[in-house]
Amino acid sequence: MVILTDITEKKKIEKRALRDGLTELYNHSYFQKRLSREIDKMKEYDYRHYLSLLMLDIDDFKQFNDTYGHQAGDEVLRSVARVLKQEFVDESEIVARYGGEEFAIILPEVTKVGLKIKGKEVNELIRSLAVNYNDLELQITVSIGGATYKNSESKEEFIKRADDALYQAKAEGKDTFHFSD
C-alpha cells in the first residue's frame, strides 16, 4: 500500500511541475519543451506536416485588476483557461499559460487557413464568455496573434512571429486576431 501511495504522490508532484497552479493549464516550461518536440517532428517528416501557434493576451488586464481586484483577475484567468480547455482545444492541441495574462496554443496539423479560422473562433468564444464574480458579470476580450511554422525557422523565431502578430492585434484596437505571414 505504501508503494501505491508513493506512486500516486509522485504522479501528483509530476503533474504540478507541468501545470500552472492557478489555471491548471500547462506552464511556460512545458510549452517550450512541447513546442520543441513538435518542431522536431516537423523536421523528422521533412516538413510535410503543419504546425501553427496562437498567442493570446487578455485586453486591459491591469486596468481590470485595478478596478475589480486581483481575486477577480484570478477568476478571469481561470475562466479563460477553462473555456479554452473545454470548448476550444482538442486532444492533439496544447494550451498553456505563457505568462501573466498571456496564453499560448500549439496547433499541430493546422494550416494557415485553419489557423485564421481558429483565431477568429477564439476571439468570438472569449467575447461571449461572461465571468461571474461577486454578483458581477464581467466581460473580457483578448487580442490574438498567430503564425504557421516556416521550414527551418527556429523555435524562437516562430514564437516571435506569433507574438509580433499579437502586438499588431493590440495596435489595431484589441479584441481581434492578426496573422503573421
**How far, in Å, CA of 4 to CA of 56, rounded?**
40
What 3-state class would DSSP assign to 69?
coil
- From first CA to last CA, the distance across the chain in angstroms is 56
What is the DSSP-derived secondary structure letter of residue 48? -
Active site residue 101: yes
Please tell me the chain's helix, strand, coil percentages from 3-state DSSP, rounded to the nearest 5. Answer: 50, 25, 25
Query: One of 87, 101, 109, 157 is an active-site residue; which one?
Result: 101
Q: Which residue has the cell 476571439?
A: 123
Half-sphere exposure of 26 (CA within 13 A, CB side): 17
Helix ranges, 88-146 (H): 112-127
Distance (Å) of CA 161 to CA 52, 82, 121, 132, 153: 11, 26, 20, 34, 10
- The catalytic site residues sit at 101
